[in-house]
Amino acid sequence: MMPFRLAIVLSMLVTLFAAPAALASSRIKDIADFEGIRDNQLIGYGLVVGLQGTGDSLRNAPFTRQSLEAMLERLGVNTRGFDLNTKNVAAVMVTANLPAFSTQGTRIDVSISALGDADSLQGGTLLVTPLLGADGEVYAIAQGPLAIGGFLAQGDAASVVRGVPTSARIANGALVEREIEFKLASMTSLRLALRNPDLTTARRVALAVNELIGLPTAEPLDPATVRIDLPRQFQGNIVDLLTDIEQLIVEPDLPARIVIDENSGIIVMGQNVRVSTVAIAQGNLTVTVAETPEVVQPLPFANGQTAIEPRTDILVDDASDNKLAVVPESVTLQQLVDGLNALGIGPRDMISILQAIKASGALQAEIEVM
């Protein structure tokens, strides 16, 4: 029986000892970034040509028409005043990430997305497209044939679409034309930015760096930043120091948090979540309605007609036999969830139970609902 099993499982949890938390040690390279060593986002507007009648409708996409006319004029072809009706051209937005310390002449990947009402970019070629940075300067030039991850096939009465045929990618499709000025070798101090800000983690990172160098050169400024003053023996040779620092092993400290996505029923919880003494009872009201209509036939040679007689069966289960169970202190949330899973309680009911425990003040964690 469900209530008896619930009481048995929860009582067994009392005798379980909290398993020691596994050390989730990580390299500094995986939990922090060095200030100045980062990507830069680029964006551009261009035209894709060579489509097989799946491009923009020039009447519905005036920006495509204007771009096409301007491009042809630059090539010495005057189309002003003429009725252009091609479906082989599409206006697109081109995006890319410029890696740190990219030198002039290197290549980077670009992503292309349709801007108008094009049906597919399959078979298209991107024309020369300048890629701009946040400062409005051109840092790369993109061009080349597109590779899409989907396709579109259609006929007169049916069509099939797989993936997103209006998005594409060009591997090594952009050529870097301008370098970003950043002189790493001349720096006398640098800062580490933690990807998950935490005071304890920042202090552990500073202690690890000071132990490596042998001097108190690292100092946590806030939960997200650790400043490192470079010793004289490393000035001018900062790459060696950064290589040693990013390989240091540190155990990040994480807050007790539960993340719940009510739309999909996903629950993600941290290892430090604990439950204080609390009593739990779980029961659902289930109403089952079954329709079994019956056909009624008139007697032979009778003056009647066939009719359908409705028949409805209603079953109500209010789980009235469920009992209240006490969960003592020191039982971890992981053990509680394991016990609820063993009883077949679904994610929806589990989310409601966790929120109720939090409302009672017995859940020592933060609940974040997405």
Which residue has 């202190």 as its token pair?
Answer: 329
Q: Is residue 46 helix, strand or coil? A: strand
**Which positions ≥6 away from 21 have C-beta within 8 Å?**
271, 272
> Can you say how many angstroms the Cα of residue 68 is from the centroid of all Cα atoms in its chain?
36
User: Token pair of 143, please?
Assistant: 């061009």
What per-residue confidence (pLDDT) applies to 359? Answer: 84
Cβ partners under 8 Å of residue 186, min gap 6? none
> Which residues lie below 8 Å from residue 359, measured CB to CB, with a gap of 6+?
none
- Domains of the chain in start order, with CATH, are 2-21+257-289+315-369 (no CATH), 26-36+184-250 (3.90.1150), 40-176 (no CATH)
| Angle of CA points 254, 260, 261, to nearest 5° | 135
Is residue 122 within 8 Å of residue 151, measured between CB atoms? yes
Q: Is the distance from CB of 334 to CB of 269 less than 8 angstroms? A: yes
Compute the distance between CA of residue 256 and CA of residue 64 in angstroms, rounded to an integer. 52
pLDDT at 260: 84
Please give the Cα distance from 221 to 268 (Å, whole number): 30
Q: pLDDT value at position 1?
A: 43
96 forms bridges with which residues in the sheet? 42
- The pLDDT assigned to 156 comes to 64
Cα–Cα distance for residue pair 283/1, rounded to 1 Å:
13
Are the C-beta atoms of 329 and 357 separated by less than 8 Å? no
Whole-Å CA distances, 181 to 96, 175, 190, 227, 343 = 19, 17, 16, 22, 61
Collect the ranges in the chain with pLDDT lower than 50: 1-22, 285, 324
Q: How many other C-beta atoms can be found within 10 angstroms of the C-beta atom of residue 307?
A: 10
pLDDT at res. 83? 74
**DSSP result, 79-97:** -TTS----SSEEEEEEEEE
Tokens 């919880």 belong to residue: 269
How many Å from the N-terminal Cα to the C-terminal Cα in the chain? 35
